[in-house]
Chains A and B, each alone.
Chain A
């Protein structure tokens, strides 16, 4: 099975712009979650989608949004970029049902805001 695929791998944007990141989950996985990783804050949960519905959301401002399509692929959007949004953005998929469905991560999108 192919793993979780995130595109693009690297992005450089300037302050005030907006960006969209893409995630293709493992085939058959219906849950997709997003995380932001920075050296200072570690891995922080952004939100999780299951069958096109957002099931849970972390403590991030409304500039961070996401969606999931009927084929379980997901996109994450960040508007009005700030320097502090520079981070590794990770997507993970799981079967989404049952207490023992571990997360499978992609290798992330490295976003640099200048």
Chain B
């Protein structure tokens, strides 16, 4: 089970790009990297998933270097509504997993 390390908290101003890096040194060959966003009293929401290189969707980009020992979630031009906790997950879903969410990164966006 891959252990992940993320910053506990980050601050940003509206309109800036935010990059959150997650370290996962013992990632296994079959593992995917998935990021979730969670607001208070709600369940985590899927943001983006990748295996290697770069993945982009309508809300974020995910950069994964060749060695896959880390990944960076990039949120372009954040708004106040992006204030949330962001979790990085590493695992091979669908094979009887026991996922470790860790404490996540608490992002605060201010005007």
Chain A minimum-CB-distance residue to B46: A102
Confirm or deny: A64 has a beta carbon within 8 angstroms of a beta carbon on chain B: no
In whole angstroms, what is the CA distance A56 to B92 when docked?
Answer: 13
Which residues of B line the A interface, CB within 8 A?
A: 30-32, 34, 36, 41-46, 49, 51, 87, 92-104
In whole angstroms, what is the CA distance A96 to B14 when docked?
Answer: 37
Q: How many of chain A's residues touch chain B, expressed as a range? A: 20 to 34
- Residues of B contacting A50 in the complex (Cβ-Cβ under 8 angstroms): 96
In whole angstroms, what is the CA distance A48 to B99 when docked?
Answer: 10
Interface Cβ pair total, 8 Å cutoff: 78
Contact: B103 with A56, CB < 8 Å?
no
* Contacts A42-B104, A45-B98, A107-B41 given; does A99 touch B46 at CB 8 Å: no
Contact: B41 with A108, CB < 8 Å?
yes
Known: A96-B93, A103-B36. 14 other contacts (CB 8 A): A35-B101, A43-B104, A45-B98, A56-B98, A57-B98, A92-B43, A92-B44, A97-B94, A102-B46, A105-B43, A105-B44, A106-B43, A107-B43, A108-B43
